[in-house]
Amino acid sequence: MRRADICMATGLLFVGLLVLFVIIPAEADGDTWSGVSPLFFPTLIVAGFSIASAGLLARAVMRPGAYDGMEAPMKLQNFGFFLLACSIILAAVFLIHAVGFVWGGPVLVIALMLFMGERSLLRIVLMSVVPVLVIYFFVTKLLNAPLP
C-alpha cells in the first residue's frame, strides 16, 4: 500500500464530502424551477467522485502489497514539468480573463505546444487560431452566448 494512495484518497474523499454536504447545500436557494433541480447534476458528479475516492481508499487499505516492487509512477523531474504546465495554464486563464478568449485562447495553445516541444510554425498557427475561431463563432453566432 502506498501512503500516497491513502493520503490522496482521503483528501479527495474529504473534498467530495465537503462539497456534497456543505458547499452545494449552501448554494441552494428557495427558487422554484421546472424539471430537474439545478443542483442535481453537480450533486451527481460529486457523489460519483466521492464514491471513486472511497473505492481508491478501500483498495489501498485492503491490498497493501499491490504495488510491491513497482517504481514510483512519477519522478520528481516529471512532477516539475507537470507544475510548469499547470503554471502555463493558470497564466493563460488570467490572460483570457484580461484580454478575452479570442486573444488569450491562442496564447494558451501556443504556450502549451511550445512547452510540449512542437516547433512547426504552420502546425502551431493552425492548432491555436482555427479552433479558437470556430469555437468563438459557434458560441457567439449560433448559440448567441457571450464569451469573455
User: What is residue 30's predicted lDDT score, i.e. its pLDDT?
Assistant: 60
Return the domain boundaries, the chain: 3-62, 76-142
Residue 39 or 13, more confident = 13
Q: Please, what sign has the CA dihedral across residues 16, 22, 26, 31? A: positive
pLDDT, one tens digit per residue, over 79-122 is 899 999 999 999 999 999 999 989 999 999 999 999 999 999 99
Cα-based distances in Å from 41 to 22, 27, 141:
16, 14, 27
Q: Mean pLDDT score of the chain, rounded to an integer?
A: 87
